[in-house]
């Protein structure tokens, strides 16, 4: 291992992949242009030509490419997911990120040399589940859902030989990933099978006399005043009227930011820090990768005296949802 931490950055397309690699990502993760990945939006992800170029670009510079095949196939379309596994292996990616046990079994049997990572969509929140996937499918790394406290994360690390990857920065999810039904309830399209939470075809922005309204399949999610930035209508981050009060009743639109936890994560043996945001721009990827590369390098050099730079925070706040950040479930002061 070249570094205690691998910095794993998002790549929604070739420009984002290149800028992530250029600014210090150890790994980039992406997906194909279909429902086999959980960021199935128009204009995102890779076709064969761009993936071939992206893998070559990353490998020439010592970085790894991970392919997310992290949605759940059905019996009617199983061959599409197995073909995606075969294609990823043929392109020489460094690992595939899987959630579906059947697909893990196929990949393990068909491409035994291919490294497998357990996706956050697999919803494995304890070491027993992770060890099961290792014993059955030889999973080498697991990405933990963003619902565990630091103490719970440490318990997982201490009881499995599997590498553990955690989210360090980006959007939050109110659910244990892989179990979300809210978007499916509103749109009739499951993000777990079709790869898109709040799919674009169901999204509408409407100017009204009282402000900009955002709707998801006709359901009013939020309303914004003049000059207020209109967020993307994701059901869990909408404002709703509850007991005559209108507020973010389920989850506030804010970003996870764990820079201050880096020494603790390093000490407990976390193998990789993941940056969320395949749907974000190359400019976002550049900005976030630069900050996290600097922070990880500073922490690994001298973890006992690591201090979060105000300049780092200022840069991350520019690209945070609502220009605000939280430690999420990692920090539970009431415990």
pLDDT tens for the chain, 335 residues: list them: 456 789 999 999 999 999 999 999 999 999 999 999 999 988 999 999 999 999 999 999 999 999 999 999 999 999 999 999 999 999 999 999 999 999 999 999 999 999 999 999 999 999 999 999 999 999 999 999 988 999 999 999 999 999 999 999 998 877 677 778 888 889 998 888 888 888 889 999 999 998 999 999 999 999 998 888 888 888 888 998 999 999 888 888 888 999 999 999 999 999 999 999 999 999 999 999 999 999 999 999 999 999 999 999 999 999 887 666 788 877 766 55
Token pair recorded at residue 74 = 């059905």
Inter-residue contact 98 to 125 (CB < 8 Å): no
pLDDT at 87: 98
pLDDT at 101: 97
pTM of the model: 0.92
256: nearest Cα among 326, 309, 167: 326
pLDDT at 3: 66
Domains of the chain, residue spans: 6-172+254-330, 187-247
Inter-residue contact 66 to 49 (CB < 8 Å): no
| Residue 218 Rama label (left phi>0; alpha psi -120 to 50; beta) | left
Angle between helices 127-137 and 150-158 (to 10 degrees): 40
Q: Which residue has the tokens 């749109």?
A: 187
Is the domain covering 6-172+254-330 a CATH 1.20.140.10 domain? no
Going by the DSSP 8-state scheme, the letter that residue 200 receives in this structure is G
Q: Where are the alpha helices (DSSP H) in 28-164?
A: 48-60, 78-90, 101-110, 127-137, 150-158
């Amino acid at each position: 291992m070249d570094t205690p931490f691998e910095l794993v950055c998002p790549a929604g397309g070739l420009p984002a992949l290149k800028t992530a690699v250029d600014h210090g990502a150890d790994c980039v993760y992406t997906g194909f242009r279909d429902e086999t990945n959980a960021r199935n939006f128009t204009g995102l992800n890779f076709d064969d030509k761009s993936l071939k170029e992206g893998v070559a670009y990353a490998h020439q510079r010592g970085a790894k490419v991970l392919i997310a095949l992290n949605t759940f196939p059905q019996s009617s379309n199983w061959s599409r997911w197995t073909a995606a596994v075969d294609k990823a292996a043929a392109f020489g990616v460094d690992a595939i990120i899987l959630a579906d046990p059947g697909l893990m079994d196929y990949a393990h049997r068909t491409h035994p040399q291919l490294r497998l990572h357990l996706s956050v969509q697999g919803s494995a929140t304890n070491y027993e589940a992770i060890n099961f996937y290792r014993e059955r499918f030889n999973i080498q790394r697991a990405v933990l859902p963003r619902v565990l406290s630091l103490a719970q994360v440490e318990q997982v690390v201490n009881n499995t030989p599997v590498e553990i990857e955690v989210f360090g920065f980006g959007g939050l999810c109110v659910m244990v990933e892989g179990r979300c039904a809210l978007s499916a309830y509103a749109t009739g399209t499951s993000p777990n099978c079709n790869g898109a939470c709040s799919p674009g075809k169901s999204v509408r922005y409407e100017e009204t006399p009282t402000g900009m309204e955002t709707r998801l399949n006709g359901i009013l999610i939020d309303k914004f005043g003049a000059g207020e930035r209109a967020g993307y209508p994701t059901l869990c981050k909408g404002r709703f009227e509850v007991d005559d009060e209108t507020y973010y009743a389920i989850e506030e639109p804010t970003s996870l930011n764990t820079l201050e936890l880096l020494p603790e994560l390093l000490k407990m043996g976390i193998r990789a820090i993941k940056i969320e945001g395949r749907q974000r721009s190359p400019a976002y990827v550049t900005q976030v990768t630069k900050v996290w590369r600097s922070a990880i390098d500073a922490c690994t050099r001298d973890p006992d005296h690591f201090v979060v730079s105000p300049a780092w925070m200022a840069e991350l706040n520019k690209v945070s949802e609502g220009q605000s950040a939280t430690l999420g479930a990692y920090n539970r002061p009431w415990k």
